[in-house]
Structure 1
Amino acid sequence: MTRTSAGEPGPRASGILLLDKQGGWTSHDLVARTRRLAGTRKVGHAGTLDPMATGLMILGINSSTRLLTYLVGLDKEYVATIRLGSATVTDDREGDVVSTAPPGAVATLGVDQVEQAMAQLRGDIRQVPSTVSAIKVDGKRAYALAREGEEVELAARAVTVSAFELRGYEPQPSEDPGQGDHLDLLVRVECSSGTYIRALARDLGASLGVGGHLTELRRTRVGPFAVRDAVTIDELDVATRLLPPATAAGAIFETLHLTHEQAVDLGHGKRISAAEEAPGGGPLAAVAPDGRLVGLVEFSGRVGRSVVNFPPDDPVPPAAADPTGAP
């Protein structure tokens, strides 16, 4: 990877960054800071996290922003804390409380009862997103309409919750005698893209008749990428943490190793031929002999065409000669 004299990547270095977002940061904050650190405006992300949430965010730099479309739809894993006993307008701790369970109601809940209710929220389900989601309604974000005092009704949509596991169960006695107790559940969730963990907390509380909302949320995985391999923005050195485009694409697609001639042809928008019928059902990461990601290729029989091209990074211009003749 090329570097400038300041030690940062060259002006056209591309790749994927795995960042561990800290609480209080917005996704926009993280992108803006990364733009400064990477020295480029061309930075995008593969899915936001709420300011209260922490965990894995995937950013694309320069031409690798073209990969983000394919990363957004990958399945995800979260660990979260759900508080039973009250519901909020935002379905998380940031919103005003709109209902509380009667005194004693939460205390009667047993682990078996909670797990039975969780089981009803696993599998292929239809979920109504949180009112303060980023879904657009008549061209405006739902959360913006909600803040303006408008009632927002979002349609239920199909999502898949492949895992919804109870990992901790901690009663929280109320300090106010007039209020009911709470119960904190530590859970792990694996789900399809588009699933709202806040909505799971809301729906679990509603099914148990006590209300529920999210108090902690951490994204631990997106597809094959894990938060254990990420760094915080304060630890980020772009030059050393940039995942090459071919490596990132190879983690989510099968790799097609090109000949030099095939790499040139694909780069010019031409179709290529395979010696035998290539795998169908999705793109292949087409990689040149020098390890560069040339494009994502789809085959029909033995003929492949590029669905996305990845131009090579611009070379760093040679340093200007020292007029003194010093080495």
Structure 2
Amino acid sequence: MDGILLVNKPSGMTSHDVVNKVRKILHTKKVGHCGTLDPDATGVLVLCIGKATKALQFLTSEEKEYIATLSLGEATDTYDSSGTVVETKTFEGVNDVEATLKSFLGPQKQMPPIYSAIKVNGKKLYEYARNHEEVKIEPRDIVIQSIELLQQEKNTITFKVQCSKGTYIRSLCVDIAKKLGYPGHMSKLVRSQSGHFRLDDCVTLEEIENGDYHILALEQAFAHYEHYVVEDENIVIHGKMIQSDIDHQVVVVNQMGKVLAVYGPNGQGYLKSIRGLF
């Protein structure tokens, strides 16, 4: 029971709720998730099972794809439909929606929502919000790689976006709404892809309960990473460095292709072990 389980997270559950549910179904405490999804959101949640939990930090992908629905005319304190309405404006139509979406392409600074788990001075932002405490929120560097209008119907806009790790789609929705001249909030969110893991490859919690699931081996999970083959895997097992001029992280495998560890440069002509995965 070691490997990667791709779950289509249902709405109404936190990512940790899903982890706890899978722990009970699979009878193991060794379950962790890669990349949190908001309770209202659905879609790709990558779970690491057993020894694969060692790989969590490497499978939290830098790039994600979402399908989001923006509702214009009402803003909420949480930036999504679960929050309290704080501003309204009668919807009278919008122009240049596609051009507005395209204006968000590229690197930029984004202000995260106050209702988020980002920590400031050791305390999560949503804790400040719930206690009605003042806190300074710093903008974060994000990148929007692509954004595409999928549907526009009355006061709702559905779009697909590919973005960097750390992007808040709720904030993106609010910023798009402002540019269109309305208060707004994210009314629906589906994570359709996380790294190379796609929604089509995910299973539901019901399917897992029924035994209808497949656990991916680490070899499959790391198939898109650059591999470094070693003849003697004892080098890796004992955490020894490897002489090399490679200047980035690689997955070290034995001659049979079995994943052994992730190595990275030490800046002195060697690769050093970052994490053993055996």
TM over 0.5: yes
Q: Which amino acid aligns with 2:170?
A: R
Q: Higher strand share goes to which structure?
A: 2
**Which of 307, 312, 319 in structure 1 is aligned with 2:274?**
307
Q: Which amino acid aligns with 1:127?
A: Q
CA distance in 2, matches of 1:73, 1:154: 24
- Alignment partner, residue 93 of structure 1: 81
- Alignment partner, residue 296 of structure 1: 262
In terms of Rg, which structure is larger?
1
- Alignment partner, residue 42 of structure 2: 54
**Which of 121, 137, 140 in structure 2 is aligned with 1:157?**
140
Pairing of 1:55-74 with structure 2 (within 5 A): 55-74=43-62
CA distance in 1, matches of 2:272, 2:249: 10
Deviating 4+ runs (over 6 angstroms): none
Aligned length: 276
- Alignment partner, residue 109 of structure 1: 94
Pairing of 1:166-315 with structure 2 (within 5 A): 166-171=149-154, 183-236=155-208, 241-251=214-224, 253-259=225-231, 261=232, 263-273=233-243, 280-298=246-264, 303-311=270-278
Is 2:132 the counterpart of 1:144? no
Q: 1:298 to 1:139 in 2, by over 3 A?
A: closer
Identity of aligned residues (%): 36
CA distance in 2, matches of 1:96, 1:294: 49
CA distance in 2, matches of 1:294, 1:207: 49
CA distance in 2, matches of 1:226, 1:95: 29
CA contact (8 A) 2:61 2:194 kept: no
Deviation at 1:306, TM superposition (A): 2.1
Report the secondary structure of 2:40's partner residue: coil
Deviation at 1:303, TM superposition (A): 4.4
- Alignment partner, residue 128 of structure 1: 111
CA distance in 1, matches of 2:272, 2:141: 32
CA contact (8 A) 2:100 2:179 kept: yes
Q: Which amino acid aligns with 1:128?
A: M
CA contact (8 A) 1:246 1:285 kept: no
Q: 1:298 to 1:138 in 2, by over 3 A?
A: closer
CA distance in 2, matches of 1:309, 1:140: 32
Instruction: Kindly provide the CA deviation profile for residues 63-103 of structure 1, in whole angstroms up to 9, marking residues without a partner as x.
Output: 322222122242000001100111111111001111111x3
Report the secondary structure of 1:282's partner residue: coil
CA distance in 1, matches of 2:150, 2:271: 47
Deviation at 1:301, TM superposition (A): 8.4
Instruction: Kindly provide the CA deviation profile for residues 90-130 of structure 1, in whole angstroms up to 9, marking residues without a partner as x.
Output: 111001111111x3xx32412x2x22322332211111001
Deviation at 1:36, TM superposition (A): 1.9
Q: Which runs of 5+ in 1 are unaligned?
A: 1-8, 172-182, 312-327
The CA RMSD measured in Å over matched residues stands at 2.1
Q: TM-score, normalised to structure 1's length? A: 0.79
CA distance in 2, matches of 1:231, 1:157: 33
Q: Which runs of 5+ in 2 are unaligned?
A: none
Report the secondary structure of 1:295's partner residue: strand
Q: Which amino acid aligns with 1:295?
A: A
Deviation at 1:46, TM superposition (A): 0.8
Q: 1:136 to 1:123 in 2, by over 3 A?
A: same
Report the secondary structure of 2:80's partner residue: coil
**Which of 6, 14, 28 in structure 2 is aligned with 1:40?**
28
CA distance in 2, matches of 1:49, 1:191: 15
